């Protein structure tokens, strides 16, 4: 069996930036064990698999090297880029996923992801958090993931966490048992409103280069803090990437609560670049 695999740098303006993902279009599903083995072989933070699910719609799944995950922003963006550039599929794209129906549209050279926004509540830090990060957060909030606020963007950039200790932390949301940690601060360069990093060794990704799902939590949080709904966000990993974000719907602009997004949507725009193509030969 021959399969085509596409490698895309998402949230990137050129190759070797942003977050790399593999995209595998299928006619019908492979066994889960085969998809998990392929994701482990690719050894990228996520591999996306998709099958047609009606006109302009696909069923989309994501696997890390260790497990299937319920939501992934950068691999969704990469999938949209492959459908648009390799298969010539224009117009809004809809994806049926474990997290519900997701939508992607092109606006110029940006792919705009439309995901549910996630609120956050102030929380006591889990035991061992400061030791795991190598820094003590000014504030800790709980959303799907732990959201840790530092004083400066430079502190975020300088972090050298202990990934083994992060993996051993208790999870943030009750529905997300594996610990995943977002670290964030206001931007300091006059260009980016927000700076962040994302650590998820518990699901086989010690540091994710650029993370759409993290921004579904960061966007309502910082919209409330900064008093505006449009933000330019920079994920300060080694590769780095920029997201143009907008919080739509939910409460009025003057009263954006971080705890309850009221059905708001997180729109996250990014660019993508094809890095390579491969034909994979599977037995059977």
- Give me the CATH topology for the region 121-259: Diaminopimelate Epimerase; Chain A, domain 1 (3.10.310)
* pLDDT (tens place) for every residue of the chain, 284 residues total: 789 999 999 999 999 999 999 999 999 999 999 999 999 999 999 999 999 998 889 999 999 999 999 999 999 999 999 999 999 997 899 999 999 999 999 999 999 999 999 999 999 999 999 999 999 999 999 999 999 999 999 999 999 999 999 999 977 655 556 789 999 999 999 999 999 999 999 888 899 999 999 999 999 999 999 999 999 999 999 999 999 999 998 765 444 555 556 689 999 999 999 999 999 887 76
The domain 2-116+271-281 belongs to what CATH superfamily? Diaminopimelate Epimerase; Chain A, domain 1 (3.10.310.10)
**Hey, do 2-116+271-281 and 121-259 end up sharing a CATH topology, with the first three levels equal?**
yes
* 239-259 pLDDT tens trace: 999 999 999 987 654 445 555
Residue 155 annotated in active site: no
- 33's tokens: 């064990």
Instruction: Name the one residue in this structure whose structure tokens are 């799944």.
Output: 61
Out of 13, 46, 107, 259, pick the active-site residue. Answer: 46
Residues 6+ apart with CB under 8 A from 283: 1
Residue-range domain boundaries for the chain = 2-116+271-281, 121-259
Instruction: Residue 208: name the closest of 186, 161, 240, 175 by CA.
Output: 240
pTM to 2 decimal places: 0.87
Token pair of 272 as six digits: 């993508």
pLDDT tens, position by position, 164-183: 999 999 776 555 567 899 99
What letter does residue 210 receive in the DSSP assignment? Answer: S
């Amino acid at each position: 069996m021959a399969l085509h695999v596409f490698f895309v740098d998402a949230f990137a303006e050129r190759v070797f930036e942003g977050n790399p993902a593999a995209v595998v279009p299928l006619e019908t599903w492979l066994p889960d064990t085969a998809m998990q083995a392929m994701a482990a072989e690719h050894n990228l933070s996520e591999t996306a698999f998709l099958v047609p699910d009606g006109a302009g719609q696909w069923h989309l799944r994501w696997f890390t090297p260790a497990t299937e995950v319920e939501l992934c922003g950068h691999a969704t963006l990469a999938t949209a880029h492959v459908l648009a550039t390799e298969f010539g599929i224009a117009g809004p794209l809809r994806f049926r996923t474990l997290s519900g129906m997701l939508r992607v549209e092109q606006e110029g050279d940006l792919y705009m992801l439309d995901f549910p926004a996630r609120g956050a509540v102030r929380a006591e830090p889990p035991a061992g958090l400061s030791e795991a990060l190598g820094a003590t957060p000014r504030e800790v909030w709980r959303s799907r993931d732990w959201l840790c606020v530092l004083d400066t963007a430079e502190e975020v950039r300088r972090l050298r966490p202990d990934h083994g200790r992060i993996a051993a932390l208790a999870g943030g949301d009750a529905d997300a048992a594996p610990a995943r940690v977002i670290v964030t601060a206001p931007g300091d360069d006059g260009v980016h409103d927000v700076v962040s990093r994302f650590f998820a060794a518990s699901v086989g990704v010690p540091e994710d280069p650029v993370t759409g799902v993290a921004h579904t939590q960061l966007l309502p949080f910082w919209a409330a803090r900064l008093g505006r709904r449009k933000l330019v966000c920079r994920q300060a990993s080694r590769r780095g990437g920029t997201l143009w974000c907008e919080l739509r719907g939910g409460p009025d602009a003057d009263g954006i609560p971080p705890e309850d997004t009221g059905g708001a949507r997180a729109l996250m725009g990014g660019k993508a670049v094809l890095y390579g193509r491969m034909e994979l030969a599977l037995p059977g």
